[in-house]
Structure 1
Amino acid sequence: MLRWKKVYDRATVLDKADRARGRGSVRKAIRGYTTILTHDPADHQVHARVAPLFAKTRRWDDARKSFDAAGEGFLKQGFADKAIAVWTAAAQHFPEDVEYWERIANENLRRGRRADAVNALLQGRSQFRGRRQRATAIMLLRQVLAVEAFHFEGTIDLCSLISKEGPAGKAEAERLLRCLERWVTHRALRRKLRLAQLRLAPSFQRAVAWATAS
């Protein structure tokens, strides 16, 4: 008895997988996309489609590999915005993976989008609130200041963290806050700056400076 070998057709498999994804049939969509990847493991467009589905089904290692392959593939072909979009999606699923936030920031910086780079780093920093995560938060905030030296919120946040790192940290925080004084003219921001200085080293003089900040 003859058995007909099923002919692989990428377009057909992709269409069925896309339709399954649209209907919410996640596992069926994954089967279709992985069939394509079996034939072409470097298909970054399919990796971009399947990565969020892997994450949805808690296949974390597969999700990470596909996010990475998709981002790298788009970047190699010159589609930086698509690569950034992939890394942004990856960062939502792996918020504590600092590498994704840094990739987003670095690529935006290369494209001259300094504000977007800063925002990505600040978003990443917001994921690291615990005491054991302080070093990572500090690292991201230092990168913020490397892009925008006198970023107000970034400086205040950094100073609050490094002041907990001993005398050297407190000394650096004092220096950063003094440097910030030259650039802050808005009354509300000056009050916030004076409050940060007061908290760093409480004194009657600083309390008065905070109360009378204008």
Structure 2
Amino acid sequence: MMALIAAVVRPSLSETNTASQQDARLSTGGATTLRNLNTCVLVILSIIFGLALYGYLGMYPTFLREQLHYAPADAGRVMSIYGLGVLVSAVSGWLGDRFSPRVVLGLSFLVASAIAALLFNGPTDFAAQAVFSFVLGATFSGTIFVNLAACHVKSVTAALAGRASGVFVTSLYGSATIAGYIIGWIVGLAGWTVAGNVQLVLLCLAGAVISLALRPERMAARTD
């Protein structure tokens, strides 16, 4: 594989030969330390998102089968439709670059909260659940995930971009490790509807409010 790359890839594509081009397109702004307001807010949002996203992915198929009595094949189809919603990520990433992260993330968390409420409190037929699942996929993995990752990097200078990405992954997947346990515990105490309302609806609503604390003017921006 290395020999193939050496034979095919042009030297002009290497980082060394493009250093002058990179110097011509610098990013300005961004904090010089990970201890800054935007990163702290984004860590909280990432933890909330991890709990909501992986609570959903872990419990929703079981909810469909145990609570709504879906056949395994139908539950699988609904989850596949969630995956289709993720395909909007290219557009949502563009929105994140064009508009304020306070608006993009705030509205996305708000939409996710509303859709989650419909999932666990609204119509139970296949068509309705499929539509809700598609919209949640577009909102959760297609928009919030993409823009949280981007904002973590934009919150700091280019020299800290790698560490900022690590903070995002740690905060998101750290909370994901306990998301299933928490939602399972709530289900055991109060049932599926309450569990969905607490871990998805309320957490996403909290995320929408916390997003207002972001300060986009302190984030890095490209200069051409």
Q: TM-score range by the shorter chain?
A: under 0.3
Normalised by the size of structure 2, how large is the TM-score? 0.22
Tell me which protein shows more helix as a share of its residues: 2
Bigger Rg, structure 1 or 2: 1
Normalised by the size of structure 1, how large is the TM-score? 0.22
